[in-house]
Chain A
Amino acid sequence: MMTEMANGVPAGLLYSKEHEWVKLDGDVATVGITDYAQSSLGDIVYVEMPRMGATITQFDSIGVVESVKAVSDIFTPVGGEIVGTNGELDSDPASVNSDPYGQGWFYKVKLNDMSQTANLLTPEQYEQLIAES
């Protein structure tokens, strides 16, 4: 179980200013969007991600997440090679709304450079960010 902080920001994860979360397991990062992001977007109906094996660069726009009303870019919080994508989102995109830190994950990246995690926010910093927005 994750320890929840105030505003529902889980500890043990890293965050981007674009409201993505990163869970590190060695040099593989699982990426998704935060509860704050899913709540702002509203009902998610489609997620478009890079294919397996694709190489992506930190903070580039690498896909889109679509709600009923709007199309939003996914700015990847980490760069490297895509080693997994959440195929369940095709049939159940609503899991991004109902379980953004769990079943609603987007993709897994094998990091090409571990130092890029220094560009991410701690839970405390992210909590501060959303408290101010």
Chain B
Amino acid sequence: MTTDASGALRRTALHDAHLALGARMVPFGGFEMPVQYTSILKEHEAVRKRAGLFDLSHMGQFVLTGAGVGTWAEALTVNKVANMKPGQARYNIFTNDRGGAHDDVIFYRLDENRWLLVVNASNADKMWNVVTAEPASGVELVNLHGERALIAIQGPRSVEWLQPYVEADLAALKYYACAETRVKGTREPIVIARTGYTGEDGFELFLPSDEATGVWDLLLAENRRHGLEPCGLGARDVLRLEAGMPLYGHEMTEEITPLQAGLAWAIKFDKPAFRGKEALLAQRDAGDYARIAGLVMEGRVPARSGYPVFANGARAGEIRSGSWGPSVDKNIGTALVEPAAAAEGASLEVEVRGVRHRATVVLMPFYKRPKP
């Protein structure tokens, strides 16, 4: 956990704004963060039907500069980096020698020689050690964790509600694209990206901490009466699970590899070399690895992280994430199970307080947004 010298939790620039909105604050990744403002289910619904506003300033932001960044980063991650074009964002995973994941991240290529790397809050200190342990010529690293703000607007009405404050044409910004543009209330152009963690359309705004409250208030002032809701980490977790997106520490860890997490699409084995490549190749070729499966519970009992999972009466694995899924009107979850138990349609049992409840394996995502 990231804490200051006294061990106290850190606060984001939006702390007072959260309190003023009646947020319930919880410790997360070393920060005091809003888990909910009104109700997780209400906030979830706002994002699915209209839009929600999130403070993600606890996430780690590293600035990478230099001609060597692409090559350097490719040796530490599973996906390609060097062939990204300026204005492009890409999901990636830093791996260890065993193929396990240090963290899942997004690279934003701002221009030819300047990148933004966004890492998980809970991994920010570890990731700073990972990247600075591999110094390379032509690569300069700056750690802005806790010094910059990140505000996300997520939901089908994001373009409509954000556009009035932004110079760039948001509709023209493609999914997983980023741009530096002027935003009302900021001194300099800021980075806006069409990325998110909810399964909806939306944008993330990277901005100086002292400008965060101004932008947050501006967006809520006009749009809250139309249904823009401030949303906490509780809603965010339900939204990402429904969208089949992994959460570090649950679907992926230092032990659970990206291959096991179902992220083979992000692993580029045609790269000449990267950390963990041999281990991942061996795992792929053996094929008998435990893997993450999506589960739908039969009754009303929610599956929770850590619950044992059984197939044909024998222990087959455990739940890694679980929640009520409002968009699918069922209890959903992920489980790390042996290969046979991960097949679509497989009938499993989840043990909850000593009683086994039926569940079925389904393909993820559980929820896919309707095409516009």
- Could you tell me which A residues sit within 8 Å of B by CB distance? 42-43, 45-46, 48, 64, 66-69, 71, 90, 93-94, 97
Given A68-B234, A68-B238, A69-B35: A90 in contact with B300 (beta carbons within 8 A): yes
Per the bound structure, the CA–CA distance linking A107 and B36 in Å amounts to 29
Per the bound structure, the CA–CA distance linking A19 and B261 in Å amounts to 41
3 residue pairs, one from A and one from B, having the closest CB atoms:
A45-B324, A43-B41, A68-B40
Are the CB atoms of B304 and A42 closer together than 8 Å?
no
**Inside 8 A of A68's CB, which chain B residues have their CB?**
40-41, 234, 238, 323-324
Are the CB atoms of A66 and B353 closer together than 8 Å?
no
In the complex, residue of chain A having the shortest beta-carbon distance to the beta carbon of B26: A69
How many B residues, CB 8 Å from partner?
Answer: 15
- Could you tell me which B residues sit within 8 Å of A by CB distance? 35-36, 39-41, 234, 238, 300-302, 304, 323-324, 331, 353
Given A42-B234, A90-B300: A48 in contact with B353 (beta carbons within 8 A): yes
**Inside 8 A of B300's CB, which chain A residues have their CB?**
45-46, 90, 93
**Inside 8 A of B40's CB, which chain A residues have their CB?**
42-43, 67-69
Q: Is the interface of B mostly helix, strand, loop or mixed?
A: mixed
**Inside 8 A of A90's CB, which chain B residues have their CB?**
300
In the complex, residue of chain A having the shortest beta-carbon distance to the beta carbon of B36: A42
Per the bound structure, the CA–CA distance linking A112 and B39 in Å amounts to 39
29 interchain pairs, CB-CB under 8 A: A42-B36, A42-B39, A42-B40, A42-B234, A43-B41, A45-B300, A45-B302, A45-B324, A45-B331, A46-B300, A46-B301, A46-B302, A46-B324, A48-B301, A48-B353, A64-B353, A66-B302, A67-B40, A68-B40, A68-B41, A68-B234, A68-B323, A69-B35, A69-B40, A71-B304, A90-B300, A93-B300, A94-B41, A97-B39
**Inside 8 A of B39's CB, which chain A residues have their CB?**
42-43, 97
Q: How far is the CB of B141 from chain A (nearest CB, A)?
A: 36
**Inside 8 A of B302's CB, which chain A residues have their CB?**
45-46, 66
Q: How far is the CB of A100 from chain B (nearest CB, A)?
A: 14
Q: How far is the CB of B65 from chain A (nearest CB, A)?
A: 40
Per the bound structure, the CA–CA distance linking A45 and B35 in Å amounts to 17
**Inside 8 A of A42's CB, which chain B residues have their CB?**
36, 39-40, 234
